[in-house]
């Protein structure tokens, strides 16, 4: 508890104030907080008391979901690329026909993985294009 008080004091808030408000006003404040998760109740009330503007950051959830999928696809493509490079290096380093045949089968498996990720990428890019074109 002492650490929290000293932490708040260092931020310029040395005193704690408590008060009561009506249920309707509380719900109104909660509604504002639901729209912007970057604010806390204390920060919101401080801004209201100091007549500071309250800016609500709106994030379009659909686009955020698509961006998460794109990041996931990027990670998978990087992994496939690293594995592919290792197999190609082994392929060129081996003189045995059997080893080259087995490495060729591995390359084929990587091609299937790559095709799957590219189809997923095409679907996500199509959704993004539809969003941008509709605006």
**pLDDT > 70: percent of the chain:** 85
- Averaged pLDDT for residues 76-95: 86
**Range(s) of the domain holding residue 41:** 2-49
Asked if 72 and 118 sit in the same domain, the reply is yes
67 and 39 co-located in one domain: no
Is there a single domain that holds both residue 78 and residue 36?
no
One domain, residues 37 and 102: no
Same domain, 124 and 65: yes
Mean per-residue pLDDT over the chain, rounded: 81
- Asked if residue 91 is part of any domain, the answer here is yes
Q: How many domains does the chain have?
A: 2
pLDDT (tens digit per residue) in 17-30: 888 889 999 998 89
Q: Which of 37-41, 95-99, 100-104, 118-122 has the lowest mean pLDDT?
A: 37-41
Cα dihedral sign for 1, 30, 55, 18?
A: negative
**pLDDT tens digits, one per residue of 116-133:** 888 888 888 888 878 777
Q: Is 94 found in the same domain as 127? A: yes
Task: Check whether residue 74 and residue 104 sit in a common domain.
Answer: yes
Within a domain: 94: yes
Rounded Cα distance, 119 and 24, in Å:
50
Q: Which residues of 24-52 are buried (b: 16+ CB within 10 A; e: fewer)?
A: eeeeeeeeeeeeeeebeeeebeeeeeeee
Closest C-alpha to 42, from 65, 86, 12, 76: 12
Average pLDDT over residues 74-89: 86
Task: Give the pair of three-digit tokens for residue 90.
Answer: 């082994």
Least confident of 53-62, 78-87, 103-112, 114-123: 53-62
Question: Whole-model pTM?
Answer: 0.45
- Residue 29 covered by a domain: yes
Q: Which of 43-47, 63-67, 79-83, 111-115 has the lowest mean pLDDT?
A: 63-67
């Amino acid at each position: 508890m002492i650490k929290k008080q000293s932490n708040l004091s260092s931020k310029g808030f040395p005193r704690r104030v408590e008060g009561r408000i009506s249920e309707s006003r509380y719900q109104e404040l909660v509604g504002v907080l639901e729209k912007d998760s970057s604010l806390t109740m204390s920060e919101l009330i401080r801004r209201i008391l100091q007549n500071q503007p309250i800016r609500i950051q709106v994030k379009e959830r659909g686009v955020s979901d698509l961006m998460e999928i794109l990041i996931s696809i990027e990670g998978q493509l990087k992994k496939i690329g690293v594995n592919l490079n290792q197999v190609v290096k082994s392929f060129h380093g081996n003189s045995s026909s059997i080893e080259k045949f087995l490495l060729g089968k591995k390359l084929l498996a990587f091609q299937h993985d790559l095709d799957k990720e590219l189809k997923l990428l095409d679907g996500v890019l199509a959704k993004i294009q539809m969003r941008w074109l509709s605006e």
